[in-house]
Amino acid sequence: MMNKTLVGLVGVTAFAALILAGGKTPAPPEPSLAPAPEPLAVEAASSDEPVVPVEVSAEARLREKALAAGLSSLPSTLIEPRDNAITPDKIELGRMLFFDPRLSASGVISCNTCHNVGTGGDDNLPTSIGHGWQTGPRNSPTVFNAGLNIAQFWDGRAEDLKAQAKGPIQAGVEMANTPMQAVATVKSMPEYVERFTQVFPEEQDPVNFDTIAKAIEAFEATLVTPNAPFDRFLAGEDAALDETQQAGLELFIGRGCTACHSGPNIGGRSYFPFGLINRPNAEVLPPEDKGRFEVTHNPADEYVFRVAPLRNVALTAPYFHSGRVWDLKEAVQVMGHAQLGLALSDEEAGKIVSFLESLTGEMPSIAYPELPAETAATPRPTL
């Protein structure tokens, strides 16, 4: 950890100079127990106590800067969806459906196939493999913390996770099913019918495509990854980020990344053109995929995408909607050039990557569900 310095221009300037010089990063010191965070000077100033000079650590200043730039911590438990009250039974039912491959026409593909909760909530492929081994058009986004995003899919075409859940079940290149057959499949298994009846008592016909989607959304609401090193740093644990990660965070703020990547999901809250300053090459930004334009048909939305949320980004290579960049440092450099007009050096991009690695949180414990057995009424798989 950087030693605490007295508040003053000398300390701050020295820190900034270290960052901007891009000099050799000192080796991170041994981890130590974080001291209790010092009260900030601003806090002292706003109280009734007389203003006295207080020691403020470089970490405390960086924390303040990060919060001022709009970065924030993850909720530690559940991301409450709209219009879908969460109950333990609904979560449990959603967990079953999330892992049930029989929601696909083939009986082979489940939500977890492309949003694998064991590998960062995605499938680590450029674009997903679906029904008939077809490849989808865009990279599978992580399901973790997805409820924090402004809308779902790279182009925001689903307003929330319950709307999103209906997409892949029906997409010909994904699960290739129909709502009617998905409902018939679920209805064919008495244990599912019983659970839906219990979870959705207000529904006359509890198993329907909406309730399937709502149950899945309820499970996904629990897929939160709290206590990342960055969250612990924000909470006052100075030692949670090492010196390189702190330098990376400083750059992430200073270079302007936080203009888009902010909020609890470090992104996911707004839309921006990919290639705001410089257009990426055609592999990274294939000309045929016009992004949000395909939803709004507004020419201003050509090549506009939802800002990628960066939580757990170190687990979710390859990157971008096209999934063509495997290396996170390269992805950072592509973004610097395309969105900010910056040529980030290898060293700068490396520090930012170190910071991004601090966004990997604690994965929730997920029990693999025991699914009901098919019956004679269950539609047979179609390959």
Catalytic residues: 174
> Smaller CB distance to its own copies: residue 62 or 317?
317
Please give the residues from 306 up to 325 whose contact with its own copies meets the rule CB under 8 A: 314-315, 317
Minimum separation from the CB atom of position 182 to its own copies (A): 16
Residues 8, 326: Cα–Cα separation, whole Å: 42
Strand-pair category, 271-273 with 55-56: unpaired
Query: CB under 8 A: which stretch of 71-79, 114-122, 288-296, 338-346 binds its own copies?
Result: 114-122
> Smaller CB distance to its own copies: residue 81 or 369?
369
Minimum separation from the CB atom of position 300 to its own copies (A): 35
Cβ-contact 204, 332 below 8 angstroms: no
Q: What distances in angstroms separate CA 102 from CA 91, 178, 191, 281, 381, one per listed residue?
A: 19, 12, 14, 39, 8
Residues facing residue 297 across a β-bridge: none
Asked whether position 340 contacts its own copies by CB under 8 A, the answer is no
Minimum separation from the CB atom of position 40 to its own copies (A): 35
Minimum separation from the CB atom of position 373 to its own copies (A): 5
Asked whether position 100 contacts its own copies by CB under 8 A, the answer is yes
Residues 340, 272: Cα–Cα separation, whole Å: 12
Query: CB under 8 A: which stretch of 13-21, 80-88, 336-344, 371-379 binds its own copies?
Result: 371-379
Radius of gyration from C-alpha coordinates of the chain: 23
Query: CB under 8 A: which stretch of 53-61, 115-123, 270-278, 282-290 binds its own copies?
Result: 115-123
Minimum separation from the CB atom of position 143 to its own copies (A): 13
Minimum separation from the CB atom of position 180 to its own copies (A): 20
Q: Give the helix ranges, DSSP H, for 52-208.
A: 58-68, 88-99, 111-114, 161-170, 179-187, 190-199
> Smaller CB distance to its own copies: residue 11 or 141?
141
SS3 2: coil
Report which residue type is found at 138: R
Which letter, b or e, does each residue of 244-277 get, where b requires 16 or more Cβ atoms within 10 Å of its Cβ? bbbbbbbbbbebbbbbbbbbbbbbbbebbbbbbe
Residues 383, 364: Cα–Cα separation, whole Å: 33
> Smaller CB distance to its own copies: residue 227 or 270?
227
Query: CB under 8 A: which stretch of 12-20, 66-74, 112-120, 347-355 binds its own copies?
Result: 112-120
Residues in the chain: 383
| Burial degree of 351 (CB within 10 A; 0-12, 13-18, 19+) | buried
Look-up: residue for tokens 């002292």? 44
Question: How many other CB atoms are there within 10 angstroms of residue 310's CB atom?
Answer: 22
Query: CB under 8 A: which stretch of 51-59, 68-76, 124-132, 228-236 binds its own copies?
Result: 124-132
> Smaller CB distance to its own copies: residue 223 or 342?
223
Minimum separation from the CB atom of position 262 to its own copies (A): 24
The one among 51, 283, 326, 346 contacting its own copies by CB under 8 A: 326
The one among 9, 42, 85, 376 contacting its own copies by CB under 8 A: 376
Residues 79, 74: Cα–Cα separation, whole Å: 9
Minimum separation from the CB atom of position 193 to its own copies (A): 18
Asked whether position 198 contacts its own copies by CB under 8 A, the answer is no
Cβ-contact 84, 214 below 8 angstroms: yes
Asked whether position 369 contacts its own copies by CB under 8 A, the answer is yes
The one among 106, 170, 270, 296 contacting its own copies by CB under 8 A: 106
Please give the residues from 347 up to 366 whose contact with its own copies meets the rule CB under 8 A: 363, 365-366
Asked whether position 302 contacts its own copies by CB under 8 A, the answer is no
Token digits of residue 7? 């508040």
Sign of the torsion angle spanned by Cα atoms 325, 328, 329, 333? positive
Residues 303, 155: Cα–Cα separation, whole Å: 9
The one among 1, 71, 84, 113 contacting its own copies by CB under 8 A: 113
Contact residues toward its own copies (CB under 8 A) are 99-102, 106-108, 113, 116-120, 123-125, 129, 132-133, 135, 314-315, 317, 326-327, 363, 365-371, 373-374, 376, 380-381, 383
